[in-house]
Structure formats: structure tokens, C-alpha cells
Structure 1
Amino acid sequence: MGAVRSRDRGSADVLALVLLAPVAVGLAVLVVFLGRQVDARAQVQTAAESAAQAAALQRTPVAAERAALDVVAAMLVDRDTCDGPVVGIDLSRFAPGGVVAVTVECPVSRRGVEMIGAPAVAHSVTATAAVDRFRANVGPP
């Protein structure tokens, strides 16, 4: 009778392992997904702020736009976090003492976490930077 209990206990352990393993894997994938969300938000925020600063340091609107686009392209290269960023640059107040606004929208990649049915999420951040009154030159390049 004691041997039967021993076998029963072992089969219960295997059954528990079989039932709990998918739950543990699902939780691990959920943690990866949530970490990716936090990382994507931070990267988009940093890229928008850096792009606005880079644009504000330029002397012409054309150079400001190019600098902002270059900064965003250099900062958001990780396709596992940001899948195809969209950049909007508002140079309507690009003048000495004005401001530059850069909006970065980033759809977060769901690559590798599709099994948990994660919704599509996009982070959008707008950052502004002041144009130095003594640096800007809105004349010809």
C-alpha cells in the first residue's frame, strides 16, 4: 500500500509540473512584453527630446529638420522595441527666441510575444526646445 502512495505522489508532481509550466512561460513572456513597453516609452521620450535639442541648435530650418531626423534615426534603431518610428517636426516658430517641437510616434514591436495576445501599442511623445536668440539665423544657409 505504501508503494502505491509513492507512485501517486510522483504522478501528482508531474501533473502539477505539466499544468504549471505553461503558466510560468506565459508569465515570463508577459514580463518581457511589459519590459519592452517601458523600454520603448523611454527610448521614444529620449529620442524626441534629443531631436528637439539638435534641431534647436541649428541655424536654418532645413538644417534643423535634417538634424532632428538624423537623431531619431540614430536613436531608434532597435527593431525589437520600436518598429518603424514616425517623426513630425514643427518648425513654424523656428526663429530667434522661438521653439522647435518634435513628435515621435513609435509602434511597439510584438515580435516574440504574440502568444499572449498582446495588443498593438504605439507611444507618442512631443518634446520642445528653445531656439537660442543669438544662434538662430533664419536667412539663407
Structure 2
Amino acid sequence: MIDVDHIDAHPLDARARRGRRAQQSGSTARRWRGTSGASDALGLALIAPAAIGLALVILFLSRQVDSRATAQSAAEAAAQAAAQERSPAAAVAAARSVTDAMLIDDTTCDNPSVRVDVSAFAAPVEPFVSVEVSCSTSLAGLEPIGASAPAAHTYVAYATVDPLRGVRP
């Protein structure tokens, strides 16, 4: 006869017991995990508006930086283009053409104004051209942050006219 008390249990029985314990502890973990849904929703409801507001503020600040850079580079490029011309009328036309090509984005440069000064274009000593570009940052799409209209950014650039080139008065 075989003594049943001395026979080792089959290894699968031990695994089965461990599996049942794991399932029982898993149900406890699931129970705790299931109750955190309300706090997750509350956290999302509190953090989402703050994140959206922060994104809008960053967008507003980046538009201001872009507006300043665009106005400055347009003034410098227009002054250089005007200094290459041979007559004051052609210099004004070249400066306006450059600024019209560069200041096309309304969100970057809203209501641009350009003033070209060619009074010293044919001066006997150190002839130069100055171009003044002024524009403001658009607030389109940024109404939720309640930003006030920023002041216009004005940049003046000077370019020296080469006195040895041919000049037509």
C-alpha cells in the first residue's frame, strides 16, 4: 500500500495555490486602483485650464518677440535696398518694395507703417538712407488671456550710400 501522507504534492498544485493568492491580491489592487478615477478627473479639471492659459501666454510672448524681430529685420533690409539705388525716388521705391514683401503676416506685424528718409541721399559727405518701420503685435486668437493691446514697435535702420557709385540727382 502506498502511504498518501508521504507523497510530495505535485508541483502544479503549488503553482495553482500561488496563482490563486495572486488573483486575490490583484483584486485588492484593482479595488484601490478603481477608486482613483474621481481624483484623476478632478486633477485634470483643475490643471487643464491652467495649462491652456500658460500656452496662450507663451503664444502671446512669442508673437511679441517675432513682431520685434520682423520689424527690425524689415527696417534693416529696406535701408540696405534703398542704399543700393541710384536716385532718391528709386531708393524709396526699393525700400517700400522690401517692406511690403517682408511685412505680410498680420499676426506678426499688424498695421505696419514705413517711413523712408532720403534727405541725405545725395549729401556730399557721408550720404545715408534711413528707414523707420513701426508695427504692433496682433491679439487675434488671444482674447481668453485678456491681454491689452501692446504698444507699437518702432525700429530705425540706417544704411550708408556708397559715394563713389554713379548718382543721378
Question: What is the TM-score when the length of structure 1 is the normalising length?
Answer: 0.88
Does residue 137 in structure 1 map to residue 164 in structure 2? no
Match of 2:134? 105
- The secondary structure found in structure 2 opposite 1:111 is coil
Pick the aligned partner of 2:146 from 80, 103, 117: 117
Q: Deviations over 1:43-76 (max 9, x none)?
A: 1111000000111111111111110000000011
* Alpha-carbon distance in 2 for matches of 1:138, 1:90: 17
Cα displacement (A) at 1:5: 9.2
One-letter identity of the residue aligned with 1:94: F
Specify every segment of 5 or more residues in structure 1 that has no aligned partner in the other structure, as ranges.
Answer: none
Rg: which structure is higher?
Answer: 2
* Alpha-carbon distance in 1 for matches of 2:103, 2:96: 11
Match of 1:81? 108
Does residue 128 in structure 1 map to residue 158 in structure 2? yes
Between the two proteins, the alignment pairs up a number of residues equal to: 137
- The secondary structure found in structure 2 opposite 1:29 is helix
Q: Deviations over 1:106-141 (max 9, x none)?
A: 1111111121112222211000000110225252xx
User: Whose RCO is larger (CA < 8 A, sep 6+)?
Assistant: 1
One-letter identity of the residue aligned with 1:113: L
Moved over 2 A (4+): 2-7
Question: What is the TM-score when the length of structure 2 is the normalising length?
Answer: 0.75
Q: CA RMSD in A?
A: 1.8
The alignment-based identity, stated in percent, is 50
* Alpha-carbon distance in 1 for matches of 2:64, 2:40: 36
Specify every segment of 5 or more residues in structure 2 that has no aligned partner in the other structure, as ranges.
Answer: 1-27
